[in-house]
Amino acid sequence: MKTLKANRRTFLKASGAGGLGLILAAQQAPAIAQKRPPNILFMHLDQQHWEAVSAFGCQHLHTPSIDRLAARGTSFSLSYSANPVCCPARACWYTGRASSENGVVMNDKWPIAKEMPDMGQWFSARGYDSVYSGKWHVTARPLTKSFRVLTPGSGIGEMTDGMVSRAAEGFLRSRQRSDKPFFLNVGFLQPHDCCYWVFEHRENTPLTRFGPPPADLPPLPANHRFDPNEPAPLRALHSGRHHRSKWTAEHWRWYLWNYYRMVEMADAEIGRVLNALDDTGLSEETLVVLTSDHGDGLARHALTSKMFLYDEAARVPFIASMPGQIQSDQRDTTHLISGLDVAPTLCDYAGIDGMPKARGVSLRNLLENHQTDPWREFLVAETFRSGRMVRTPEYKYIAYHNDPVKQLFDMRSDPGELKNLATDASKADVVRNLAGRLDTWEKHLEAYPLKELPPKRARKRKKS
């Protein structure tokens, strides 16, 4: 796979554009004459670590289907979830708006802003057949109000991901050339089943296998430790339900081994959908995008799961493919992209107007190797209601509202995010600069008025 790198000078020194630090000039891609709009296949995984793919160098698993897609398209290594939790990340994809704006700041309890359209509605109103197979999980927005639903999936990947891929396959194989273009969304749940695995092994529940451990248990990552002086929300993760203090090194490695098998399960389902696309000749006229809502701790910082802003949770794979238009076999290691870029990119390829006040930017110029300067100098991701991350090519700055502990990592010399430089006097200017960008970004948002707790839960708490 070829690696694309941009010269450092291609980044702006400072973004006066506000918003997410986007450079709006990059939004307009050259018009390409087409007889009809392309089909769009948007596939997403749940809890897929950005590195857990063979094609990206992981030696501990086999992902021939994702590898195939990567080989025929362009992938990004600096791709970040807009909010590394299921519901928020998905609401960001589908509205193009930041969590603070669309209202979905955490799982399940905070509903999406009613008036905000989602991509299903948007594409349907513009001539697309918007269909959905699999996991949706956007709070308070019934899937059936936005898409034609092939199958809704369930909360267990091993039970229903096969149905999800079969439904998508059936849909693709039954398409007629005369049909209107489709916007097929396929939401796989794997490797999210790892959450159940962790739940079941919280107290090292025995009896999950019979023989000795497999000979190929992956090694622990180099950053399998954490700073005890983390911000309070992270300390809570280390002592709360993410707590794994009873796990031995072998337990952690056994977890990794199992996680990789779940990724392989997802890969097989992706392969079924790609085969259908190829067999029907639709590949040539279909934009395919594959990404994940968030990553997984995967033993980094002695964590599993998500809801935090270290790379293992916040960084996600992103691959786009469209033969003849998108560069094949390319890996972009330079440009920062966000989950908020999904909606602008899909709208751009569809040739329809962008979603209202979308905060991301179309990736089309990057994907097609057109003029990409200037590109954004930084992006922001959120988590919980209070966590914010500013990522530049060099640094990551993490701040939680009302928490005195800030974090600054030099992502080039310390990609494992182990050495917090926030209080290093020599980095004071960097901290000030990034905190300023964060302020600018927040002021730019049209924040959705969040209640302290949704009424139902608040009532329950009051009663108790």
Partner 1 sequence: MNSDSSMTTMPRDWSTLGKRLDNWSPPSGGFDPSIQWATHYARHSLIPERNGKPGGARAGALHIEYTLKNDDLVRLQVSEVEKAGFTTMTTQAGINCANNGLLTPRRWSLSCSWQNPLKVVKNSELDQQQKGHVEGKELVLQGSSERRVPAPRRWTTFWNLFAAIQHLPFDASATLNFDLFEAFDQHKAQQRITYAGRHPIALKNKSLDLHVFEQTGCGIMPWHWWLDDQHRVVLAAGNRRAYLLMECKQGGVA
What does the binding site for partner 1 look like in residue numbers (CB under 8 A)? 61-62, 64, 131, 144, 148-154, 156-160, 162-164, 166-167, 169-171, 173-174, 193, 196-197, 199-200, 205-214, 250-251, 254, 258, 261-262, 264-265, 267-269, 271-272, 275, 279-280
Least Å from the CB of residue 199 to partner 1: 7
Nearer to partner 1, 150 or 390 (CB): 150
Nearer to partner 1, 147 or 395 (CB): 147
Cis peptide before 228 (omega within 30 of 0): no
Nearer to partner 1, 57 or 449 (CB): 57
Least Å from the CB of residue 146 to partner 1: 12
Phi, psi of 208 (to 5 degrees): -100, -10
Strands (E), 243-356: 286-292, 318-321, 330-332, 337-338
Give the list of residues 6+ apart from residue 4 with CB closer than 8 angstroms, or none: 74, 330, 331, 332, 333, 334, 369
**Within 13 Å and on the Cβ side, how many CA atoms surround 269?**
29
DSSP-based three-state secondary structure for 380? strand
Joined together, the tokens standing for residue 83 give: 């909010």
Least Å from the CB of residue 207 to partner 1: 5
Cis peptide before 404 (omega within 30 of 0): no
Nearer to partner 1, 173 or 459 (CB): 173
Least Å from the CB of residue 211 to partner 1: 6
Nearer to partner 1, 201 or 315 (CB): 201
Least Å from the CB of residue 278 to partner 1: 8
Nearer to partner 1, 27 or 124 (CB): 124
Angle at 344 between CA 411 and CA 346, to 5 degrees: 110
Nearer to partner 1, 222 or 249 (CB): 249
> Hunting for tokens 């199992």 — which residue is that?
258
Single-letter code of the amino acid located at 308: F
Asked whether 208 and 251 are in contact (CB, 8 A), the reply is no
Least Å from the CB of residue 193 to partner 1: 5
What does each C-alpha distance from 66 to 101, 133, 363, 405 come to in angstroms? 32, 19, 20, 39
The DSSP element (H or E) to which 208 belongs, if any, is none
Least Å from the CB of residue 382 to partner 1: 28
Least Å from the CB of residue 190 to partner 1: 10
Mutual orientation of helices 157-173 and 249-279 as an angle, nearest 10°?
Answer: 10
Nearer to partner 1, 121 or 151 (CB): 151
